Amino acid sequence: MYIYSKALKEMEKKINIIKYDYEYLNKYSSIDHVMSRIKSPESLLNKMKLDNLEFTYSSMINNINDIAGIRIICPLKSDIFTMRKYIEEFNDITVIKEKDYVTHPKPSGYSSYHMIVELPVFVDNNLNNVKVEIQIRSLAMDFWASLEHKIKYKPNGEVNEDLSKELVKCAKEINKLDNKMIKFFRK
């Protein structure tokens, strides 16, 4: 997991460059905060079991794209695509996959922008291309996603149809609030 820790540190450096450059050029910080994590061995094994993967290191690194994950929380929804653009402009990052749940939220109401990127990491003078999942959300999206996750995964967190509908309704209301805040900010 050392290599994934190094990949996260490299990605965090790049995100800090984006933050400081953007703040200097625009007199505004488009990043509120950043969080990162590495999947626990238990979580990796559960995912491999769920996906019917062989329990080998090779199978894990070739099939699981979110071993290392970083979440960028932006003040406004309009900042999300700006962050995406800046990330794509790094010469040493290769974007492997993107999912736009901002423009097209999941049926559950979940909204975020996901990228799987690959970046070079040197370990003992050997170059390794390491995958990192990046999630970019607004503060409002993160608020909803964090609470929705706690509701769904709390002990005995069974989500019935009525609760699912309420969560979707809340996601839509939060999206409206997010859009309203953009208008306030631009005035």
Q: What is the pLDDT of residues 2-60, one digit of tens each?
A: 999 999 999 999 999 999 988 888 888 889 999 999 998 888 888 889 889 888 888 88
Per-residue confidence (pLDDT) for residue 151, from 0 to 100: 81
Domain 2-139, CATH homologous superfamily name and number: Beta Polymerase, domain 2 (3.30.460.10)
Q: How is the chain split into domains, by residue range? A: 2-139
Q: How many angstroms separate the CA atoms of 90 and 102, rounded?
A: 23
Structure confidence at residue 185 as a pLDDT band (50, 70, 90): confident
Q: Please check the confidence at residue 158 and state whether its pLDDT lies above 90.
A: no
Residue in 117, 99, 172 with CA at minimum distance from that of residue 141:
172
pLDDT tens per residue, range 93-130 = 999 999 999 999 999 899 999 999 999 999 888 999 99
Mapping DSSP to helix (H, G, I), strand (E, B) and coil, where does residue 21 land?
A: helix
Q: What residues does 100 pair with on adjacent strands?
A: 113
Q: Which residues lie closer than 8 Å to 171 by C-beta, 6 or more apart?
A: 105, 108, 109, 110, 111, 144, 148
3-class DSSP state of 68: strand
Instruction: List Cβ neighbours of 174 (8 Å cut-off, separation of 6 or more).
Output: 140, 141, 143, 144
Active site residue 133: yes
Please tell me which residue in 133, 148, 158, 161 is annotated as part of the active site: 133
